[in-house]
Structure 1
Amino acid sequence: MALAAFVGLNGLVLVYLERKVAGHVQRRPGPFEVGPHGIIQPLADALKLVGKQLFTPPRGDKLLFWLAPILSFTPIFVLFIPIEFGPGLYGIDMDLGLLLILAFAGFNVLALCLAGWGSNNKWGLLGAARAVSQSVAYEIPLLLSVLAISFMAGSLHLGEITAQQGSWPWQWNIVTQPVAFLIFLICGVAETNRAPFDLPEAESELTAGFHTEYSGMGFGLFFLAEYAEMIVISAVAAVLFLGGWKGPIVDGVWWFLIKIYALLLLMMWFRWTYPRVRFDQILNICWKWLIPLALVNLLVTALVMKLV
């Protein structure tokens, strides 16, 4: 229940932040009418989604069509279980917590594939094909960047990785692994289908991509899952590279939340600043640049750890 409340509340907060960031980037105030400075606008949007009629394409596969949003949203709760938000504040203490997150994060790709396939819609199917090829490509450099940190820490335990970092910024892993952090951040944006890597749902090309046929809370579950995955990516990045819940003067959960929201704002800034890349460019960036760079970084890390 606590995780469900956390995901739902953060969904409302991030919708508001997204619209405000978009407004200020485009030199306009963003939502401003519903509540003070439009602060109740996300609640109005949520009520609108809940009240909309659920529609099933007459020629679509009903089972796959409705299994997709459920499969996209449900595994999200598993991803939060091993994350240590503060000293001793986690769901389950796991030695292989990082491996669990990486394994269950892949379910979203299957969900997007089922959504496009079950819709029996050409735009949905094209979006699903793009999602699968994009995710398969960007998972490789992401895993290689995570391996560099696990080599240094000698563990896949998120608490252990946090414990080996200090409270001050120069004691965090981002200082020794800036290349791995950059690769992880780029891959995290691509894995969550955020602009400029939002090819699976490119409005100018595919109407809405894999979720073209979804209405109401069918679309709402995909929407919530995307924001929840952004939180997970930011939380894992904070643990691996930014010292987790450690911070100057006094450690605590507030430092962890500050780091998460700083990375979320960075991802939102990317969306409303950079243009969408072409599909051939998105794969070239991964296969020709990120994977070789991640391999070199991992080999250098392994060599340094061996010599030290």
Structure 2
Amino acid sequence: MIIDTTEVRAINSFSRLESFKEVYGLTRLLVPIFTPIFGITIGILIIVWLERKISAGVQQRIGPEYAGPFGILQALADGTKLLFKEDLLPSRGDILLFSIGPSIAVISILLNYLIIPFSYQLVLADLSIGVFLWISISSIAPFGLLMSGYGSNNKYSFLGGLRAAAQSISYEIPLTSCVLSISLLSNSSSTVDIVEAQSKYGFWGWNLWRQPIGFTVFLISSLAECERLPFDLPEAEEELVAGYQTEYSGIKFGLFYVASYLNLLVSSLFVTVLYLGGWNLSIPFLLIPDFFGINELEEVFGTTIGIFITLAKAYLFLFISITTRWTLPRMRMDQLLNLGWKFLLPISLGNLLLTTSSRLLSL
């Protein structure tokens, strides 16, 4: 029997080509998935380090110094410690609800990063209902907190979960009204279209100047949604020990902190997208040379500049929220609900009515 070596080589080459195509296809599938996850993880570690350093500066302390240069590895050390700590379960609690509550809180917030445009070409899903998808998905997180509080079989935990649900309902409607106003101004609910609508006049084209009332309401509501001081009633240490986190330890306890910082980062990014022009530069396009136009560049340089501008604006909001945490006292629960229902809701609805009227008159 004679074997044609040329045919064997062709078969081997074809097999290698098919294997290469399979590996390449798998790589193209996994890289867009894991790249944002890696970037978000780094962002959370940076936020934890910034919060420690900024709070130390406000209180005239040094802050973390020994875990890496300037303490930059302190957040990684804290996460590693929680990862290896014992995971305790309440003996009389609902173990199923107790276990899946933190996961629901993290996953519901993590899905919001799908629609955030970091630059013109760097967005995972440019959906026509982008901002409303964020509103709908973010409203799932309080269910995870309520499940955690109920499953703990602890009166402090359950009260913290109830507070989280009440707080979310109170501030979700003003937040939605502000988003509706931005959608009316941009004639679209897509996050990419909203950023593009602000790009014509640079700094003066931001929705911040066209929606100052909406920006203020959105800022307050987003802080309440993130449960940051002065709105951290669901986990008030002086009243509820640690709220819905009281019975948690180990990695489940760490997931609550991951969810908190994920929510803070996604709120900062949405403030940037909705009100601060997203990835666009802050000077009018007429003053930018043609070779430096961000919207026209389709290369790595343009994408990198867009990412840098987006993150710089987002971290400005992060600095404000962290500073607010260490400068304002905590509100009472009745004050928090009164602010949401009696002040922010009428103001946001009035702002939506004015925006709608102006759009109708301009037609």
Cα pair 1:196 1:274 within 8 Å, conserved: yes
Correspondence 1:16-95 to 2 at 5 A: 16-95=49-128
Distance 2:165 2:345 in 1: 17
Q: Structure 2: which 5+ runs fail to align? A: 1-33, 283-287, 295-305
Q: Which of 138, 142, 149 matches 1:109?
A: 142
Deviation at 1:119, TM superposition (A): 0.2
Q: Structure 1: which 5+ runs fail to align? A: none
Correspondence 1:191-202 to 2 at 5 A: 191-202=225-236
Deviations 1:176-203 (A, max 9, x none): 1011011011000000111100000000
Give the match for residue 264 of structure 2. 230
Cα pair 1:201 1:210 within 8 Å, conserved: yes
Distance 1:17 1:144 in 2: 31
Asked whether 1:118 is paired with 2:151, we answer yes
Distance 1:8 1:245 in 2: 21
Distance 2:109 2:127 in 1: 17
Deviations 1:133-176 (A, max 9, x none): 11100001101111111111111011111111126221101001
Whichever residue aligns with residue 239 of structure 2, its letter is E
Distance 1:72 1:175 in 2: 34
Compute the TM-score of the two structures, normalised by the length of structure 1: 0.97
Whichever residue aligns with residue 218 of structure 1, its letter is K
Give the match for residue 339 of structure 2. 285
User: Percent identity of the aligned residues?
Assistant: 43
Whichever residue aligns with residue 339 of structure 2, its letter is I
**Runs of 4+ in structure 1 displaced over 6 angstroms?**
none
Cα pair 1:8 1:224 within 8 Å, conserved: no
Question: What is the RMSD computed on CA atoms of the aligned residues?
Answer: 1.1
Give the match for residue 6 of structure 1. 39
Distance 1:4 1:241 in 2: 25
Asked whether 1:301 is paired with 2:334, we answer no
Asked whether 1:241 is paired with 2:281, we answer no
Distance 1:49 1:15 in 2: 14
Whichever residue aligns with residue 266 of structure 2, its letter is V
Distance 2:228 2:129 in 1: 28
Distance 1:302 1:38 in 2: 50
Distance 1:6 1:35 in 2: 20
Q: How many aligned residue pairs are there?
A: 308
Distance 1:6 1:47 in 2: 18
What is the SS of the residue equivalent to 1:86?
coil
Whichever residue aligns with residue 109 of structure 2, its letter is I
Whichever residue aligns with residue 81 of structure 2, its letter is K
Deviation at 1:51, TM superposition (A): 1.1
Q: Which of 193, 204, 208 matches 2:238?
A: 204
Q: Which of 293, 308, 327 matches 1:254?
A: 308
Q: Which of 191, 213, 216 matches 2:247?
A: 213
Whichever residue aligns with residue 190 of structure 2, its letter is H
Cα pair 1:3 1:77 within 8 Å, conserved: no
Q: Which of 188, 195, 212 matches 1:178?
A: 212
Asked which structure has the greater CA Rg, the reply is: 2
Distance 1:30 1:159 in 2: 39
Deviation at 1:92, TM superposition (A): 1.5
Distance 2:121 2:71 in 1: 37
Distance 2:234 2:311 in 1: 29
